[in-house]
Amino acid sequence: MPVLRIAAFSDGNTGGNPAGVWIGDDLPAASKMQAMAADVGFSETAFAAPEGSAWRVRYFSPLCEVPFCGHATIALGAALALQHGDRTFELKLARADISVAGRRGGETIAAALQSPPTRSAPIDRLLQADLLQLLDYSIDDLDLNIPPARIHGGADHVVLALKTRSALARMSYDLKLGRELMEKAGLVTVALVTVESPQLFHVRNAFAVGGVLEDPATGAAAAAFAGYLRDLGWPHGGVINIVQGEDMGMRSLIRAEIGEISGSSIRVSGTARIMSEA
């Protein structure tokens, strides 16, 4: 089967984070999926095959397998809707059972995923210091209204809130050192965020473990961040919106709907646009 190339969390017909999507009768061997993901070259490629009434899904970056990828799940929801019509699809991941819905509409496809359960915990101070050094920030750059934390929504991330948009814009780091640090800490991404309003955030995500300096849209981290805001008692009003990818010239829009129960899943939605088939 060909690999579909779909940009998830697009801003209409532009922007978004490209993902590869492969759908077949049976999943290939892990080594084959890894090679295909490296060949596609996007931050993640989702591989799906039917398993009973659901779909078995695995995600690979160019360098490694990851337990969950939000933007590739949105892309998968779009691809499944194209093949099987508008509905909700049950997905079986390595560590969780989730769902994704796809709805076709003109040149884009609306998709929404229900994330794995979220959780959060205070960050280890040594890890915080190492990340600040890697990213060339100081304690004074941090917005402590959102304290640094280790957050989870199907995969582990760290969130660091910054006081200013200009600080966010200057994010840079050594990719090799970043990968070593994030692998050691068991992190998939480091999310840097700034607050425009209680319901609107600007975000950049370092994804060194996948061999990618930055992801233009990160649905798994968005779910984890939304869950963390709920844990904090943040005045989210039930929904937050994330703008990501602007500094890369790939503006992406993510919407996360937040329930009231701590530890429950988050509904993450956006649009997807079809780019091409490999």
pLDDT tens across 145-156, in order? 999 999 999 999
Q: What is the pLDDT confidence band of residue 44, given thresholds at 50, 70 and 90? A: very high
What would the mean pLDDT of 183-198 be, rounded to a whole number? 97
Give CA separation, 252 vs 14, 116, 249, in Å.
8, 22, 9
Any idea which residues carry the catalytic annotation?
44
Task: Tell the residue number behind the tokens 């915080």, with chain if given.
Answer: 128
Six token digits for residue 122: 């205070």
How many angstroms separate the CA atoms of 48 and 259, rounded? 28
Torsion over CA: 209, 154, 231, 185 (sign) = negative
Residue 54 has pLDDT above 80, yes or no: yes
**CA angle at 181 for the pair 178 and 182, rounded to the nearest 5°:** 80
| Residue 36 main-chain phi, psi, to 5 deg | -65, -40
What would the mean pLDDT of 226-236 be, rounded to a whole number? 96
How many angstroms separate the CA atoms of 72 and 116, rounded? 15
Six token digits for residue 14: 């532009």
Strand spans (E) along 176-245: 189-197, 200-207, 212-215, 239-244
Output DSSP code: residue 276.
Answer: E
What would the mean pLDDT of 131-136 be, rounded to a whole number? 98
Task: Tell the residue number behind the tokens 């990818």, with chain if given.
Answer: 245
Domains and CATH numbers, the chain: 4-115+272-277 (3.10.310.10), 119-270 (3.10.310.10)
Residue 234 has pLDDT above 70, yes or no: yes
User: Taking phi first (over 0 means left), then psi (-120 to 50 degrees means alpha), and beta for anything else, what does residue 136 get?
Assistant: left
From 213, 184, 202, 211, select the one nearest 245 (Cα to Cα). 202
Predicted TM-score (pTM) of the model is 0.95
Query: Among residues of the chain, what percentage have pLDDT more than 90?
Result: 93
pLDDT of residue 26: 97
How many angstroms separate the CA atoms of 230 and 89, rounded? 26
The length of the chain in residues reads 278
Q: What is the mean pLDDT of the chain?
A: 96
| Maximum alpha-carbon separation in the chain | 53
How many angstroms separate the CA atoms of 7 and 21, rounded? 10
Residue 6 has pLDDT above 60, yes or no: yes
Residue 277 has pLDDT above 70, yes or no: no
238 CB burial (10 A radius; 0-12, 13-18, 19+)? exposed
Report which residue type is found at 5: R
